[in-house]
Amino acid sequence: MRNYFIAHMIRIKTIAVLLLAGIGFTSLSETAAAQEPKIVNIVNFIRLLEPRDPRITEDVLYQTVVKQVNIMRQYHLTGTFLLQYDALMDRRYQELLRSLPRDSFEIGAWWELPQPLIEKAGLKWRGRYPWDWHADVGFSTGYTPAEREKIADAYMQSFKSIFGYYPRSVASWFIDAHTLQYLYDKYRIVASANCKDQYGTDGYTLWGGYWNQAYYPSKINSYMPAQNAASQISVPVFRMLGSDPIRQYDQGINTQRQGVITLEPVYPEAGGSKSWVNWFFNTFTNDPALNFNYTQAGQENSFTWDAMAKGFEIQMPLIAGLRDKGKIRLETMEQSGQWFKANYKVTPPTSFSVTKDLEGSNRKTLWYNSRFYRMNILWEDGSFRIRDIHLFNENIPDIYTTQVATSNECTFFTLPVVDGYLWSKPGQLAGLRLKALVNGQEVILKGGDPLFKNLDKETVQVSWPLSQGGTLQVILKEKTVSIKLTGNQSLSWYLDLETAPGAKLPFTNIAPQQIDGSFEAFSYHVSASKGSFSKPSTGAVLRLQPEKNEIRMNLADIKHTR
C-alpha cells in the first residue's frame, strides 16, 4: 500500500543530481553482464475503491487501469494484473481483463483483504472502510491461521468461477508464511511478491531481507530466506518496486518513516524522471549481476492515471526497446516464478551492482545476497564503506505465522551485523570503514574505481585499487566474505565499525574469533576464520584486524538460542 496522502512520498526531495542524470556510459563488464538474464515484470494491481479521497471515484480507478492496458498493448508489452477481491467481483474489470490475450497478460491475486472478501469467508469485518489498509484488518496478518484459510478459499472459489482457473501469482506488500504455504499446497501458486525493503513507510517495516531479486521463504517466516529446501516454502517471493540501489537505503535516516526512491512512475524524481529511469535501466542491464537481475515496473491504480501518466509513458517504450534489443526478458510473474523454480532448488546467490551513478555523483555500490546473508558496499568520494550486513536464519519465526497482528503496523526483521540505516544519524553514517596507520596517524584509505567480476555462480570478486598502493580484494561467497590486501605488504590496515552515538546495537560480546549478538530475543554470532575482532579503546564499536593481510568471516552460522 502506498498512502496517497503522504506528501513526502510524492514529493521526495532527493539531491539535485537526480535531475541531471546521463545514460551514455559502458560498464567495464558489459559483455559478462549481458550473459546473465535481466528479468522485468510489469505488475499493476487493482483496487475497486479509494476511501481516503472522494475525488478518486471507482470510475477514476477503472479508467486508470484502462489507460495502463492501452499503453501496454500499444507497445506489445507482457504484464501481470493483480486483482484485489472487490475489483475481482466488479463486472467492468472482469470484462476488461478477460479481453486480454492469455499469452501475454496474466491475471492474478492482490492479497489485500477488503470487506466483501472477509464477509464471503464468513467472518466479521472490523475495518473503518470497505477497504482498510491497516495491518490488523486489511492483510492476512490480522486473522488467525484458520481464518486465513477460509479467506483464501473464498477468494480462489470466486476467481475460478470468473476466469475458469486459479491464479498462479499472489502478491501483496506482505503475506504471512501460513497463507503462502496454504496457497501453494492447495492451489499450487508458483510466484509471489512482497514490498521492497523499507522502514516505517505507510506503517510497514521490512528490513534486512534478501535485497531485491527473489528468494524462497522459511516455512515459519515469510520474510526470512530459508537455508534448506526442507525448511522452505517452494514459492519464490520477488521483491517489488525497483529500489534505487544507492539512494533508497539512506532515505530518511533518523526519521520514523522512509521516503521512496523507486521505479514507481508516480515519483517525479525517480520513476517519473526520464533521466533517473534511463540511468536505472542502464545500470540494471549493463552492470554485472550474479545469476540474474530482476526489477518490477508498474503501479497500483490508487495513485490514478494523472499522477502516473508521465512516468508510465517514459518507462513503457523504454522497456519495449530493451526487450526488442534482447537486453531484458519481459515476463509475467507466473513465467518468472516457473523459471526460478526450474533453475533453483534453494535460494541462489545474486548481486546488483552500480559502476556509474547519476551525473554529478561518483558513488558506486554492490549488493550481494545469498540464502545465508546480505551485504552492501558503497563507494563515495573514493572511500569504501560496508554499509549493511544482515544474517538469515530459517529457524527464527515471525510472530505473524501463528499469531494475529494487534496493531495497524507490521514489522519484519532479520539479524543485524552492520546497519547503516538504523545505526546512523545525518552526518554520522554507520558502517565498516577501511583505515590504516600511516606515519603513526589513523587515516581512512581511499582509492579508484572498483571492478566487479563474477567468478562462478556463487562468487563475486571486487577489486579496488588503493591510492596508497595495492589492491583491496573482496570475495563474496554464499557463506563467507574474504577481504584481502594484495600488492602492498607494508600497509597496516583494518576495518572499523563506526555508528552514531546512542545507536541501539545488538552486540553482547566481542572476542578475538567471534562476535556475539542478540536481536529480538535471538542470539547469533559471526566468526572469523582469518583475522580477529577487538573493541578499540576509543571511537569505533569494533575492529576487524587482518591476519597476513586477510580477513575472512563466516556468515552462515544458523544456530540460534532464544
131-148 pLDDT tens trace: 998 888 989 999 999 999
**Core vs surface per residue 529-561: b (16+ CB within 10 A) or e:** ebbbbeeeeeebbbbbebeebbbbbbbbebebe
Task: Break the chain into its structural domains and give their ranges.
Answer: 353-554
Res 9: pLDDT:
34
Nearest one of 267, 244, 547, 245 to 377, comparing CA atoms: 245
Cβ proximity of 355 and 449 under 8 Å: yes
Which residues, 6 or more positions from 73, have their beta carbon under 8 angstroms from its beta carbon? none
For the beta sheet containing 460-465, the strands, ordered from the edge strand earlier in sequence to the opposite edge, are 451-454, 460-465, 471-476, 480-486, 550-554, 522-530, 514-519, 507-511
CA angle, 180 as apex, 105 and 518 as ends, to 5°?
130
The CA-based dihedral angle spanning residues 122, 127, 133, 134, taken in that order and rounded to the nearest 10 degrees: -100
Residues ≥6 apart with Cβ < 8 Å to 499: 423, 424, 428, 430, 505, 541
503: number of Cβ within 10 Å: 15
| Mean pLDDT for back-to-back runs of 10 residues, the chain (562 residues) | 38 35 36 71 96 93 97 97 98 96 95 97 95 89 95 98 97 95 98 93 87 97 96 97 95 83 95 97 96 97 96 97 96 97 97 95 97 97 96 92 81 94 93 91 94 96 95 97 93 94 94 94 93 89 94 82 54
Closest CA to 435 of 480, 476, 468: 468
Give the cell for residue 227. 537455508
Q: Residue 296 in contact with residue 280, Cβ under 8 Å?
A: no
Phi/psi of residue 403, each to 5°?
-110, 165
Exposure string of 129-139, with b = 16+ CB inside 10 Å and e = fewer, is eebbbbbbbbb
Name the amino acid, one letter, at 452. F
What does CATH list as the number for 353-554? 2.70.98
Q: What are phi and psi of 44, to 5 degrees?
A: -115, 125
b/e code 405-444 from CB counts within 10 Å (16+ = b): beeeebbbbbbbbbbbbbbbeeeebbbbbbbbeeeeeeee
> In this predicted structure, what is the pLDDT of residue 17?
33
- Helices 145-163 and 177-187 cross at an angle (nearest 10°) of 40
- Name the DSSP class of 409: -
Relative to beta strand 221-225, strand 217-218 is antiparallel
Q: What would the grid cell of residue 427 be?
A: 552526518
Q: DSSP letter string over 226-261?
A: PSSGGGB-SS-EEEPS-B-TTTTTTTTTTSSS----
- The C-alpha torsion from 458 through 363 and 298 to 284, rounded to 10°, is -40
* Coil, strand or helix at 322: helix
pLDDT at 558: 64
Please report, for the chain, how many H helices and E strands are present, in that order. 11, 31
β-bridge mates for residue 339, sequence order: none
pLDDT of residue 483: 97
The span from the first CA to the last CA of the chain, in angstroms, equals 33
Task: Please state, in angstroms and rounded to a whole number, the distance separating the CA atoms of residues 236 and 206.
Answer: 17
Cell of 132: 482498510
